[in-house]
Each structure stands twice: as C-alpha cells, then as structure tokens.
Amino acid sequence: MLTYTDVRASFFSLVALSASGCQLYFTPAGATSDAGERDANRDAPKTTANIIFLTTATYDGNLGGRAGADEKCRAAAGSANLTGTFIAVIGADGESVDPSAVSRLSRARGWVLPSGKPIMNDAADLLSGNQWYPIKEDPQGNDLGASTEYWSGVNAQGNAGNQCNQWTDNTELQSGEFGKGNEATGLGHQTSKCNQTRHLLCAATDLQAPLPAPVRDNKKFVFVSRTMFGSSGQGRAKADQICGAEARVANLSGTYVAVLGAGGVAAINRFDSVAEYQRTDGLPLGFLSAPASFINRAADRSIVNSDTWAEPLAATPQFNCNDWTDTNIVSSGATGSAESAGTDAFDNYLKPCNQAFPVFCAQQ
C-alpha cells in the first residue's frame, strides 16, 4: 500500500532547482537521498515503492544466462543496501516462465530511482514512453550520464529479439538487443555484438505501489507539437502558428513559439533563460536549456514519441533549412527527439529539408 502525507511534496516538488541540479523529496524505503540532502530530508514524507536502477558495472553478453543476470542485480542492490527482490529486466525466450523483459515486472507496480525520482507505474511504460524521469542512476543513486545502455533482449515492441544465445555468449558472432535509459521508449533500442559491454537494468518486484501523477504548478510549459512542420515560404512563423494554435486548443495561457533558431540567433534567445519549465502533465523539467526529462507530452498531455526539428539550443543556427524556408531534398535540417532526455532532445541527426516533423513549443 502506498501511503503519503502530501502527494505534491513527496513525489514531485523539487527541494532545490539550481545550477547544481535537482533533488526530489521522495525517498524510497531502503534508500536515502544523496549525502548532502540526507539530514535535511529526514523529516520529509516517506513512502514505499519498488526501486529500479542500472548496474555500475558493465557486462558482455555472457551473463551466465538470465539467472546470472539476476544474481548480478541482487549483488548490486545488496552493495547499496537496497531492500527488495531484484531481478534483471531482460528477456530470455528460452525461459518457460516470463520469457519477456516486460512480463518479469508485470506483477508489480510503481518504480522509483534510488534517489527517489519517480519513473513509472507499469512495466508497459518502458515501451509506451509513459515515463517520468530517465533511468540513468546506479544503485547508489549516482548519475551515469550518457552511459545508459543496458542489455534487454527485446525489440522496440517488447517482443523477443537477439539474446546472445540466451545470455551465454560473448563473441562477436552473436548479437543482443539493448535498451537505453535516456530514451522514453528505450527498452529495445538497438542491436550490438555480444563481445561489447553494457549495464543491466535491475528492478525490485515486491510491491503494488502505484505512484500519484504530477500536478501542474506556476512554472512555464513546454510541449511537442502534434502537427507536423515542414519548411515553407512562411519560415519559422509557420511553426510559431502551430505552437500557438495547439496551446489555445489545450487552454494553455501565455504566448507559445517554436524552439527553433533563425536569422543567425540561437533558439534559446527566444526564451527566459532562468525560467523554470514543466511538461503539460506537470512534471518539473528545470531549465529549458537542459530539461531533466523527456519533452514527449503534447499540449493536450498526450504522449508524442517522435523525431523533431531542433538544433542545440545555444548554437548559432547552422542546419535550419535556410531559416525554415528551404524544401530541397539535398538541403539539411537538424533534428532532435521528443523521446530523448536532457540536451539529447535537441541534438540528433540531419534530415532532408523536404521532410516534416513536429517542433518543440515553449512559453515565452
């Protein structure tokens, strides 16, 4: 049973939002916040939830089978004094019980990181993009940064993929599917050779502990458009129209424009650099220049997992389809991704300017 004194304080209120980063009040049973906040949070509301993390160590494809992966997760949890029954979130279609990664978690609900940041309510959220924060902490709550790839053994739909010969092979002759914690739908991200090394995704499975949803507050909103934007004679002004129209339909107050650079001016210069932002579902994101999670909610709060037109926010526009007026197939525009957390959302691949993608929209 999940108990709490104040939903807003215990899950989604930030103790501090500064250049040093964000820290949530919520602390799961068997874990603590980081050392600098532990004493300050001693009297904060406490509750229980399943913990999920990435191993600090990385492993090749010979894990000793899925049982060996489970043992590695339990050892990692034990080293951090985390309580619960931990398993590896990894598929093995040769197993007679719960062969898929998702089915291994299906009897539990509610997961948080060791730091207390909420992740998801349901195992299927690993595939749908319905996550709150990215999974990129080790069992001690240390941020692993960009190193968030983990063996999963399933494809993007959650079905059985390559599994390094049931996780007993570490040669380049075999391959295995891997996920990425910094992606909202990252469970089946890509495939690699089994002689390469990756983390393991580990999760406790003891509790039915659904987490309350975030609540909107007075921060500014940022969202991803549902309407596709293609370069045209109207340039960035057309993207601004898309943002404004979708905000009005969703009854979002304020002025909304596209997070796109033009005229030699970086995109970030269109916005207040010290303003705090939130997704339309109320999830705190911090500064627009380095959002703490995925901007994969539309103005109406629905999930949009898509590539987007976007360049690094502080960069002088370079690949912007001639200020979003060029539709030539041989010209290039920079794309980001609504599925990617942090600055990865604004830095992905170049795509031909004759294509159309959603745009990020932010309140000025």
Instruction: Tell me the pLDDT of the chain (364 aa) as tens digits.
Output: 333 223 334 445 432 232 233 333 344 444 443 433 333 333 333 448 999 999 999 999 999 999 999 999 999 999 999 999 999 999 999 898 888 899 999 899 999 999 999 999 999 999 999 999 999 999 999 999 988 999 999 998 888 999 999 999 999 999 999 999 999 999 998 999 999 999 999 999 999 999 999 999 999 999 999 999 998 889 999 999 999 999 999 999 999 999 999 999 999 999 998 999 999 999 999 999 999 999 999 999 999 999 999 999 999 999 999 999 999 999 999 999 999 999 999 987 999 999 999 999 999 9
Q: Answer for the pair 276, 198: CB distance below 8 angstroms, yes or no.
A: no
**Every domain of the chain and the residues it spans:** 7-204, 220-363
Name the phi and psi angles at 190, rounded to 5: -155, -175
Q: Answer for the pair 290, 284: CB distance below 8 angstroms, yes or no.
A: no
Please tell me the distance from the alpha carbon of residue 38 to that of residue 34, in angstroms, as a whole number.
6
Please tell me the distance from the alpha carbon of residue 177 to that of residue 208, in angstroms, as a whole number.
28
Token pair of 350 as six digits: 């170049």
Please tell me the distance from the alpha carbon of residue 48 to that of residue 316, in angstroms, as a whole number.
46
E strand or H helix at 51:
strand 50-54
- Whether 7-204 and 220-363 share one fold: the answer is yes
Q: What is the pTM of this model?
A: 0.86
Strands 175-180 and 149-151, sheet pairing: antiparallel
Was domain 7-204 assigned CATH 3.10.100.10? yes
Give the pLDDT confidence score for residue 61 in this predicted structure.
Answer: 98
Superfamily of domain 220-363: Mannose-Binding Protein A, subunit A (3.10.100.10)
What stretches of 213-302 show up as alpha helix (H) in DSSP?
236-249
